[in-house]
Amino acid sequence: MDSAARLSPLRAEAARLSSRSIRDLVAADPERVHDFALRVGPLQANFARQRYDRVALERLFGIGESCGFETALRALFDGVPVNSTESRPALHSALRGDTGQSDAARAAHAQALDARGSMRATIAEIHALGVTDVVSVGIGGSDLGPRLAVDALAPLHGASIRVHFLSNVDGHAAQRVLARLDPARTVALVISKSFGTQETLLNGRILREWLGDDARIFAITTNVARAAGAGISAARILPMWDWVGGRYSMWSAVGLPIALAIGMEGFEHLLAGAADMDAHVRGTPVRGNLAAWHALTCVWNRNGLGLSSQAVLPYDERLRLLPNYLQQLVMESLGKSVRVDGSPVGIETVPVWWGGAGTDTQHSFFQALHQGTTVVPSDFIGVVRSDAPYAANHDALLSNLLGQSEAFANGQDSDDPHRVYPGGRPSTMLLLDALTPHALGALIAMYEHSVYLQSVVWGINAFDQFGVELGKQIANGLLPALDDARRADDPVTRALIGALGRG
């Protein structure tokens, strides 16, 4: 059965529930507050404010079972080439633990352990240079995960090395980063799987000229030859592998900026949290599996309710970059319109993921979420215990987290139509006991596995990203056209080159 046929009953379930509000669903089934909740280690999840009842939820669980979630997860962890278009496994779980039970998974885990030894040696070498600052140069998967983790965790650890990130090819980005640094006390990490990414190479060149010392540049890549050709000694190159996609690579040596910012012990706690989530996901049947429940909820909102957008609302300033990270993880993985066999998928796939940190966003886009015509489901993310010494602020933060989720779900009637809140906005609540490396690792791994299981439902490949290539190819071809517009084939592009005062 193809995915469109398998999911077709969801519309009927949604129609059956269309006249029932979230408030009504909760009132009619008080036990759902507890029964629609799961805890895995430091992470609690509550799905009680989703717009499904037990019957629809059972239908969703049945879909997960009929799609072979357990088999698909076994294939992922054991290194079967689940990236079928590129004939590669996706063994990011092997970077953080030994959950896989195949020879391929064990070999990958052994390589990951060796790479951790190289990371420790590199960290010691960088400290020996008397470095105060590190600039991490990368883009996409080589940037977003480490940037998120450093921003979230570094303030807690008081590391002696400050880590800065440079991704955008816009020269103003490099100018801003370097303006406050001393080249004599700085090293650069150039992170690129292929060592052929235009933005990273151009920014790497800026760093090389600014430092004036090749010995202060380190690389993380699969392409040692290209890195060596750029003047980086093999002794300063750490490995990446084809069996790890860029957006799943923060657990590898790509996480060196994290280890520099929070210490290698902190980085290993991040890995351990992800490995614990891996063990839960692999070993737990669909009905008690947090990643499966999250994935099926996303499918329900997309294909049952027909909702085309998903908000991520972390109520912790340290997680402000989580929406940016999830945009790539989810949309690059699931932004596909053909199945693994090349046939049209026949149903809607990924919604638009976006968001921002509360409470700031309450004063920006929440108006549209509460009273706009488009219903947007949300993942609310909170942290139970604060590390800041401002108890009143944390109480206010948590009360806003709870209040906004309640208002989205229940709404409010009024005699004044301008003050009516329709409610019916579904949300999932995800609570971390505290924002530790272990908890952050578990949260990110949960999202990774949710994305994979959504791809299993839709019959698409979560691990290629051919869609990012065409625009970049055209852009590379247009570089000469900036000096001679006649080289541009497209008439609109030729006109725009003229508007730029070029060509």
Do 3-61+289-462 and 92-268 come out as alike in CATH topology? yes
Torsion angle of C-alpha atoms 432, 435, 438, 440, degrees rounded to 10? 80
Give the pLDDT confidence score for residue 229 in this predicted structure.
Answer: 87
Bond before 222 cis per omega within 30 degrees: no
End-to-end CA distance of the chain: 54
Task: Decide: 98 and 299 in contact? Cβ < 8 Å.
Answer: no
The DSSP call for residue 160 is: S
Contacts of 328 (CB under 8 A, 6+ apart): 140, 141, 144, 247
Instruction: Indicate the helix (H) or strand (E) that contains 66.
Output: helix 54-66
Q: What fold does the segment set 3-61+289-462 form as a domain?
A: Rossmann fold (3.40.50)
Give the pLDDT confidence score for residue 155 in this predicted structure.
Answer: 76
Q: Report strand pairing: 237-239 vs 162-166.
A: unpaired
Give the pLDDT confidence score for residue 213 in this predicted structure.
Answer: 85
Tally of helices (H runs) and strands (E runs) in the chain: 21, 11
Task: Decide: 427 and 442 in contact? Cβ < 8 Å.
Answer: no
Q: What angle do CA 115, 119, 123 make, to 5 degrees?
A: 170
Positions annotated as catalytic residues are 332, 363, 472
How far lies 257's CA from each of 11, 74, 171, 218, 223, in Å? Answer: 46, 31, 22, 11, 20
Beta bridge partners of 188: 135, 217
CA separation for the pair 34, 306 (Å, rounded): 27
Give the pLDDT confidence score for residue 14 in this predicted structure.
Answer: 97
Q: Is the dihedral of CA 61, 64, 332, 317 positive or negative?
A: positive
- Map out the domains of the chain as residue ranges: 3-61+289-462, 92-268, 469-499
Task: Decide: 150 and 262 in contact? Cβ < 8 Å.
Answer: yes
What is the b/e burial string over 296-326, where b = at least 16 CB atoms within 10 angstroms of the residue's CB?
bbbbbbbbbbebebbbbbbbbebbbbbbbbb
Give the pLDDT confidence score for residue 485 in this predicted structure.
Answer: 80
How far from the centroid of its chain's Cα atoms is residue 276's Cα?
A: 18
Low-confidence ranges of the chain (pLDDT < 50): none
Exposed/middle/buried for residue 363 (C-beta within 10 Å: 0-12, 13-18, 19+):
exposed
Tokens of 256: 């060196």
Amino acid at site 325 = Y
Q: What angle do CA 395, 327, 269 make, to 5 degrees?
A: 60
Angle between helical axes of 264-283 and 103-128 (0-180°, round to 10): 160
Give the pLDDT confidence score for residue 157 in this predicted structure.
Answer: 65
Q: Does domain 92-268 have CATH number 3.20.20.70?
A: no
